[in-house]
Structure 1
Amino acid sequence: MSDIKKIAIDGLWKQNPGLVQLLGLCPTLAVTTSVVNGLSLGIATALVMALSNGSISPIRKFVPTEIRVPVFILIIAALVTIIDFSIHAFIEPLYKALGIFIPLIVTNCIVLARVESFAAKNDTAPSFFDGLYMGLGLAMVLAVLGALREIFGKGTLLSGIDLIFGSSASGLVIHFFSDYPGFLLAILPPGAFISLACLIAVKNHIEAR
């Protein structure tokens, strides 16, 4: 249990892939225009990471070193395809909103990095939890970043939640300002860089304290 606790702390805080390792920046900067988009892609990535780590760890000793990376990528691609088809089948509006970034989880460097650095060297249970908590740490960053950009960019929170729960959930959208003209910089890619830099600065300040 102490090992699992350490893995959780590393994934969620000490070695957070979005704030410390700075991996997976492509979806971090592109998808986080709203909290719904960011959290949805983050959860999908966490599932892929947990399942890929848990699948690769048991077979790590049987895979020749020369073909290790192609085999790992093949397993990751198969898992991403399953999740991609599932989202397309059951939550098609969200699938259209996230677009190409669901299949691109295959190329997300954080997924292969954890497989290579942890799952290929450790037992199944620790590897599964490492992938899970690293993925949840990234999902947390995507959600907070999406919330910040959405609040400043649109003056709302939870916009697009109807993509998941249907039109009846549109009443859950929070409007902070009336007649808010919007702040375009927060929605554009430079706003993503600035917001991420602020999150990193806050984390560093907390650790310095």
Structure 2
Amino acid sequence: MATKPSSEIIRDGLWTNNPALVQVLGLCPLLAVTSTVVNAIGLGLATLMVLMGSNLAVSLIRNFVSESVRLPAFVMIIASFVTCAELLMQAFTYQLYQILGIFIPLIVTNCAILGRADAFASRNAPGPALLDGTMMGIGFLAVLIVLGGMRELIGQGSLFVDMNLLLGPAAADWVIRPFENYPDMLFMVLPPGAFVGLGLLIALKNGIDSHLEERRKASEPAPVASGSKRVRVTGHVS
């Protein structure tokens, strides 16, 4: 299998084939924990770590695992990295780990991670596989942060609440409250608000893609009609 150029891998992960906006994978944790930015960052970083580690490990063993045990081996690798992420969060961000709860272990079943292991890492060298995992993880993290920020701002009228749970006491004063006496909008805090927010983000991406495609077509030269023929006129001068 021919390896994609690095620029295409980066573009796929961040935009063209974004796991959340295009593949629409990993929706269970994405919709459940993005009520605040700090929750989104915590889950996104854990997913990024697992994607990078599993893609690299799967690529390294791709020539030594038979087809019959390929998927179970991938799941075991992913589960190992999820356990590492879980233990790290328990050690350094225990309160955030308690808030995220079951959604950290559920990373094992995230179709975006298993899908990249099977579709890309198992067919490419370690370097491109690691880059693919990194870009897919960053793309997923970016969507989590934007969705979490949207829901926190519209639902609670604030941003970066409880950032100290992730970054320590120094981040306790990072809270931004642009509106005074803001009436909380419970709809955006609850899961239905997550569906609406994600739908808006997908619509925005599709709109941007359509606009860029129209501009690209407009900048292309008009094709010459294939049926047109040039008529050569000859004559004699007497």
Give the TM-score, by structure 1 length. 0.97
Q: Pick one of 53, 64, 71 that aligns with 1:62.
A: 64
* Counterpart-to-counterpart distance in 2, 1:176 and 1:154: 11
1:97 to 2:99 alignment: yes
Give CA-to-partner distance per residue, 1:108-139, whole Å, 9 cap, x none. Answer: 11000000000111111101110110011000
* Counterpart-to-counterpart distance in 2, 1:133 and 1:79: 18
Q: What does 1:36-75 correspond to in 2, within 5 Å?
A: 36-75=38-77
Q: Pick one of 142, 145, 151 that aligns with 1:143.
A: 145
* Counterpart-to-counterpart distance in 2, 1:128 and 1:166: 29
Write the letter of the residue equivalent to 1:48: V
Instruction: Determine helix, strand or coil for the equivalent of 1:181.
Output: coil
Identical counterparts, % of pairs = 49
Write the letter of the residue equivalent to 2:121: A
* Counterpart-to-counterpart distance in 1, 2:23 and 2:170: 39
Structure with higher helix content: 1
Q: Which residue of 1 aligns with 2:112?
A: 110
What 5-or-longer segments of structure 2 have no aligned partner? 212-238
Give CA-to-partner distance per residue, 1:26-71, whole Å, 9 cap, x none. Answer: 0110010011111221111011001100011111111111111111
Q: Which residue of 1 aligns with 2:223?
A: none
* Counterpart-to-counterpart distance in 2, 1:39 and 1:92: 15
Contact 2:36 2:161 in 1 (8 A): yes
* Counterpart-to-counterpart distance in 2, 1:38 and 1:171: 19
Runs of 4 or more consecutive aligned structure 1 residues displaced over 4 Å after TM superposition: none
Q: How far did residue 196 of structure 1 move?
A: 0.4
Q: How far did residue 98 of structure 1 move?
A: 1.2
* Counterpart-to-counterpart distance in 2, 1:112 and 1:81: 16
Contact 2:42 2:166 in 1 (8 A): no
Higher RCO by CA contacts (8 Å cutoff, separation 6 or greater): 1
* Counterpart-to-counterpart distance in 1, 2:6 and 2:48: 16
Q: How far did residue 90 of structure 1 move?
A: 1.1
CA RMSD in angstroms comes to 1.3
Q: Pick one of 25, 32, 35 that aligns with 1:33.
A: 35
Instruction: Determine helix, strand or coil for the equivalent of 1:43.
Output: helix
* Counterpart-to-counterpart distance in 2, 1:86 and 1:185: 33
When structure 1 is superposed on structure 2, of 157-166 and 81-90 the one drifting more is 157-166
- When the two structures are aligned, how many residues end up with a matched partner? 209
Q: How far did residue 199 of structure 1 move?
A: 0.4
* Counterpart-to-counterpart distance in 2, 1:76 and 1:197: 29
Give the TM-score, by structure 2 length. 0.85
Write the letter of the residue equivalent to 2:114: L
Structure with greater Cα Rg: 2
* Counterpart-to-counterpart distance in 1, 2:83 and 2:153: 32
Write the letter of the residue equivalent to 1:161: M
What 5-or-longer segments of structure 1 have no aligned partner? none
Q: What does 1:1-209 correspond to in 2, within 5 Å?
A: 3-209=5-211
